[in-house]
Amino acid sequence: MTVRAAVLPAVGAPLEITGIDLPEPGPGRVRVRLAAAGVCHSDLSLSDGTMRLPVPAVLGHEGAGTVVAVGEGVTHVAPGAGVVLNWAPSCGSCPACARGEVWLCAGALAGAAEVHARRADDGTDLYPGLNVAAFAEETVVAASCVLPAPDGVPLTDAALLGCAVLTGYGAVHHSARVRPGERVAVFGVGGVGLAALQAARIAGASTIVAVDVSPEKEELARAAGATDYVVASDTTARQIRALTGKEGVDVAVECVGRAITIRTAWESTRRGGRTTVVGIGGKDQQVTFNALEIFHWGRTLSGCVYGDSDPARDLPVLAGHIRAGRLDLSTLVTDHIALDGIPAAFDNMRAGKGGRALVVF
């Protein structure tokens, strides 16, 4: 069957909206008709080569839809069921999985190296950019890449749970472990940053500072839970300290992935503060510290993969927050687009505009 998809023909090349031929689901595979897919910065990182996976590829890793067909041996979902795509399924047997750190699974991206489909026009083999190839009307994925969609959450909203919300919420609750009354700064007001702001509010943070290069994002940030807004500059750390009695925040969550932002986030925390880095930066982004300041400030700097989340564990928790009105997914989305709108959404991300663009099929 031929469906339309957004294909990356080569690293650095423009996306092409074209037809692809999908196989029928074999043993342990599931075919899903997409309801919606979020346009994430990680897709842009694959497109420009910051992250390296096989190409040509169908991009898109944050999505939800309806099961069309299942292969032999698939029992946890059936045709007609709503599902959330999980781009980083855990193998259950590697050392990280044995420790319970499923977000660090060594085999999580093994499926990205397997042929996913073929171009309808010339038969070229295509790979799934981050396992699930969500920038398409339909996709065929491993059974481990689908999770039952939470009851009471529309599939167009549930798409955001697959990356932005799991990552932003997890960065605050699992990695940074924000406690009630703590002061938090979130750097980068995109989809993940907006989710982190809401997570900080849910955690009971007393002060929530949003930081972004764009002054136009202040309204978005405040709607998500920010109590203060700082337009990024060379005085950002000083401004944040001024907002916190000259001490600094307890926790900084960096959602940009740039050396200068990581360094500024670290400098914005109090003595003994914690900085969690969520943003994916390139190898050329070198962050430097001197030995004396590391000792003196006693701060912690840590990486965060997928929000240190276990989707099977965390999706029901997030659904509970949504049903209770504590988590509002509509505040994350600034643009509803068609498949053809993905290239323009990439341009907006490069320019630092908007929150999450959502492809609605």
Average pLDDT of span 248-263:
97
Chain segment 325-346, per-residue pLDDT in tens:
999 998 899 999 999 999 999 9
Superfamily of domain 165-305 in the CATH hierarchy: NAD(P)-binding Rossmann-like Domain (3.40.50.720)
Nearest Cα neighbor of 88 from 26, 147, 27 is: 147
- 278 pLDDT exceeds 90? yes
Nearest Cα neighbor of 188 from 325, 27, 349 is: 349
Nearest Cα neighbor of 265 from 325, 199, 196, 198 is: 196
Q: Percent of the chain, pLDDT > 90? A: 93
How many whole angstroms separate alpha carbon 135 and alpha carbon 117?
Answer: 13
pLDDT confidence bin for 353, thresholds 50/70/90: confident
Return the pLDDT at 37: 97
pLDDT confidence bin for 111, thresholds 50/70/90: very high
Average pLDDT of span 225-247:
97
Q: Percent of the chain, pLDDT > 70? A: 100
Cα 289 from chain centroid (whole Å):
28
Chain segment 119-161, per-residue pLDDT in tens:
999 999 999 999 999 999 999 999 999 999 999 899 999 999 9
- 355 pLDDT exceeds 90? no
Average pLDDT of span 64-91:
97
What torsion do the CA atoms of 21, 116, 355, 176 make, to the nearest 10 degrees?
Answer: 160
How many whole angstroms separate alpha carbon 230 and alpha carbon 233?
Answer: 9
Average pLDDT of span 225-244:
97
Average pLDDT of span 179-206:
97
Return the pLDDT at 1: 84
How many whole angstroms separate alpha carbon 66 and alpha carbon 218?
Answer: 35
* Residues with Cβ within 8 Å of residue 76, at least 6 apart in sequence: 143, 148
Average pLDDT of span 36-58:
92
Return the pLDDT at 189: 96
DSSP, res 90? -
Mean pLDDT of the chain: 96
How many whole angstroms separate alpha carbon 215 and alpha carbon 56?
Answer: 37
Nearest Cα neighbor of 67 from 50, 46, 84 is: 84
Question: What DSSP string runs through 149-167?
Answer: PPTTS-HHHHGGGGTHHHH
* Residues with Cβ within 8 Å of residue 219, at least 6 apart in sequence: none
Return the pLDDT at 289: 96
pLDDT confidence bin for 168, thresholds 50/70/90: very high
Beta-strand relationship, 62-70 and 82-85: antiparallel
> b vs e for 12-42, b when ≥16 Cβ sit within 10 Å of the residue's Cβ?
eeebebbbbebeebeeebbbbbbbbbbbbbb
Q: Is the CB of residue 348 less than 8 Å from the CB of residue 354? A: yes
CATH of 2-162+328-360, one of 3.40.50.300, 3.90.180.10, 3.40.50.960, 3.40.50.1370: 3.90.180.10
How many whole angstroms separate alpha carbon 107 and alpha carbon 98?
Answer: 13
Residue spans per domain, the chain? 2-162+328-360, 165-305
Return the pLDDT at 81: 97
For residue 89 the two structure tokens come to 């399924």
How many whole angstroms separate alpha carbon 18 and alpha carbon 85?
Answer: 22
Say how many C-beta atoms besides its own lie within 10 A of residue 342's C-beta: 22
- 171 pLDDT exceeds 90? yes
Return the pLDDT at 282: 87
More confident residue, 281 or 70: 70
Nearest Cα neighbor of 287 from 308, 257, 307 is: 257
Chain segment 50-66, per-residue pLDDT in tens:
888 999 999 999 999 99
Q: Is the CB of residue 29 less than 8 Å from the CB of residue 142? A: yes
pLDDT confidence bin for 231, thresholds 50/70/90: very high
DSSP, res 173? I
The residue written with tokens 């003196």 in the block is 296
How many whole angstroms separate alpha carbon 18 and alpha carbon 112?
Answer: 20
Is cis: bond before 215, omega within 30 of 0? no
